[in-house]
Structure 1
Amino acid sequence: MTEEFGGLLVRTPRRTDIPAWAQLIARIAGAERHTWYEKAEDLETFFELQDAESDAILAFDDDGVPRAHGRLTAVGDGAVVRSEGGVDPDWRRRGIGEHVLGWQQERAGRIAAERGLPGTALRAQHEEHVEGPAQLLESAGFGVVRWFHEMHRGLDRVPPERPLAPGYELLNWTPELDEAIRVLHNLAFAGHWGSAPRSEESWARRVGNPEVRRAWCTVVRETRSGDPVAYHLGSHDPEIERLHGRVEGYTELIGVHPEHRGRGLARGLLEDAVRRFAADGMTTAALDMDSGNGTGALALYEGVGYRVVNRAPVWEKAVPATP
């Protein structure tokens, strides 16, 4: 696909575009003061798991520099499609964002048709302090359907060590447990808003991301059965210190088997993670949570000392299937 809008030449991305694409995302993130942004390895994963020829666009200036991007990721059967995108700070106020969003809506309609669905829910998310996306999405008929909270905890003091409930033990998450924990994750997040089961390939990419710190990844095993029933996945992004001045241990995922909830396992994992972060020289523990989570997650995190520092709305629009 090659077309032109807003003075930019638009085409589908190629693997050779990844370094320049990542630089575009970094420029946008710097201008908008994003807490986190995708790196080249995340774009590599997109090429591995998605059809980049159909589900992404890059828009280039006359010098071949990418100035805008957009992409889509279908969740599960495609009834939900997530969108990512942005425009170079030097190329704003030219209607380019509207072009990108228009392409995303058209492509979302085709994804629904390809999967035999009457339509799809197209979703977009941004940090609350970034005003441009909110204005664009609202003008295009999107509405806020959810809020996510970014939560932090200082690491000058850490929780004391205490044993887990009888019948459980804490272990390090070693690679041979990856598949069992993938199955556990799919059970733990079944029915969670916006979540879809993880395939073996997507899970391998998630736990194999270079930012994941295996020393911060732990599992709770039920001693009677020997099965893992809870887990914590921790990571460290060195760019956070450059961007925000803090050295951060991040909880990527934490989950508990539905039949083993209410026994303090998640709290035990989280307190252990906080201690591990601090021991490795981190200054802040961080995580993100769905404000609509009905499992008591907010009370859990606040009980361990986390506090909300940032919010991000999730916008949604129903897009009918289009051939």
Structure 2
Amino acid sequence: MLPEGFTSRPATHDDPPAIHRLMAAAETEWHGRAEVVPDAIEADLRRPELHLDRDTLVVYAANGDLAGWAWIHLGKRAQVDVHPAYRGRGLGTALLDWVEARSRAEGSEWTAQAVDDADDAGTELLRSRGYEVLATNWLLERPITAPGPRNLPAGLTLTPYTDQAAHDVHELIEDAFAEFQPRRKSYDEWARLSVERPSFRPDASPLAYAGDELVGAVIALDLPESDEGYVEQLAVRADHRGKGIARAMLEETCAVFHGLGRRDCILWTHSGTGALGMYERLGMRVRRSTTVYRSTS
């Protein structure tokens, strides 16, 4: 039930550049800068068990502009975006209707999506449908300075990421995030969202070993046309937390990005991890936030 003058179709793998421009336009309006990572969109569209023909929708205006889009994975996690030029015309409502219908068709008991806290219209729409706050995501930043002497915790060694360690890294990260994420990602899904992305930077992604046991890992991305280094994931094994491992890995990542001329290091953290205070002690501060809303279908 799109507003008059708009048409839709499933997304294709040719659409990410146009989708990126749509999302960048929204972020620029809200924050004065675009931070969406171009290859993140393609990675999302290549998630296992996400079927483009039924789980994605792109909406075009009569003049050919991409006006909005949405996707939903496994009937649960969803995303809806509308170009700033086409807000206030009912597209957000229509796309949310489509997301909720797809969720019901999959037999899901709930749907969830993150909304930028500067997106007043999107926030109001979800609240009007009875969505409740599930969690908060914070984008953190830290200036990158010249690296000092390495001060590793006793018994710890750091090595750059290697493909041979990929499955161990996947297990460690999924174990660490199991406390707050609704399901474990398969190796294929995790890899498509991280180490198989074109922006993945192995040399900025240290692995921490205590003896021969993997106890920490960073997945870092080198963002195109950006002066910032991005940490996609950082995890420390539960029985080795509080020993300075996260600090050591982050310092190693920042040292590599400093050599590449990057100005800031940025990462997202989730309220379910309880890690915000730790990152603040490492010198990071909140740049902006999103809220995850969840509703029953």
**One fold, TM greater than 0.5?**
yes
> Cα gap change, 1:18/1:186 in structure 2, threshold over 3 Å: closer, same or farther?
closer
Give the direction of change, closer, same or farther, for the CA distance of 1:174–1:28 in structure 2 (3 Å limit).
same
Q: Show the counterpart of 1:308.
A: 286
| Whole-angstrom distance in 1 between the partners of 2:270 and 2:239 | 21
Preserved contact between residue 274 and residue 285 of structure 1 (Cα < 8 Å): yes
Structure 2 residue 224 is matched with structure 1 residue 238: yes
Secondary structure of the 2:116 match is coil
8 Å Cα contact 2:110-2:294 kept in structure 1: yes
Give me the CA root mean square deviation.
2.3
Q: Secondary structure at the match of 1:126?
A: strand
1:170 maps to which of 135, 142, 158? 158
Counterparts of 2:160 and 2:262, CA distance in 1: 19
TM-score normalised over the length of structure 2: 0.89
- The residue number in structure 2 matching 1:56 is 56
Residue 16 of structure 1: how far off its partner (Å): 4.2
Residue identity opposite 1:141 in structure 2:
G
Q: 2:85 aligns with which of 85, 90, 94?
A: 90
1:126-141 paired onto structure 2 within 5 Å: 126-141=115-130
Contact 2:43–2:197 (8 Å) recurs in 1:
no
1:252 deviates by: 1.0
Q: Is the 8 A contact 2:71 2:99 kept in 1?
A: yes
Counterpart secondary structure, 1:144: strand
Secondary structure of 2:273's aligned partner? coil
Q: Is the 8 A contact 2:20 2:36 kept in 1?
A: no
Shift of 1:7: 2.4
CA distance in 1 between counterparts of 2:120 and 2:135 reads: 17
Shift of 1:121: 2.4
- Mapping 1:124-163, distance limit 5 Å: 124-156=113-145, 158=147, 160-163=149-152
The aligned counterpart of 1:207 is: 195
1:257 maps onto 2:244 in alignment: no
Q: What secondary structure, in the 3-state scheme, does the structure 2 residue paired with 1:36 have? A: coil
Residue in 2 that maps onto 1:10: 8
Q: Write out aligned runs for 1:222-301 (5 A).
A: 222-223=210-211, 226-239=212-225, 241=226, 247-294=227-274, 297-301=275-279
| Partner SS state of residue 152, structure 2 | coil
Deviation at 1:38, TM superposition (A): 4.9
TM-score by length of 1: 0.82
User: Which secondary structure state, in structure 1, belongs to the residue aligned with residue 117 of structure 2?
Assistant: coil
- What's the counterpart of residue 175 of structure 2? 187
User: Does the aligned pair in 2 maintain the 1:189–1:195 contact within 8 Å?
Assistant: no
- Checking the alignment, whether the CA contact within 8 Å between 1:173 and 1:217 is kept in structure 2 is yes
Query: Alignment length, in residue pairs?
Result: 294
Q: Secondary structure at the match of 2:243?
A: coil
Gaps of 5+ in 2: none
Match of 2:97 in 1: 102
Deviates more, 1:3-12 or 1:100-109: 3-12
How far does residue 157 in structure 1 lie from its aligned partner after superposition?
5.6
What is the alpha-carbon distance in structure 2 between the residues aligned to residue 40 and residue 260 of structure 1?
Answer: 32
Q: Does 1:197 align with 2:196?
A: no
Name stretches of at least 5 consecutive residues in structure 1 with no aligned partner. Answer: 114-118, 242-246
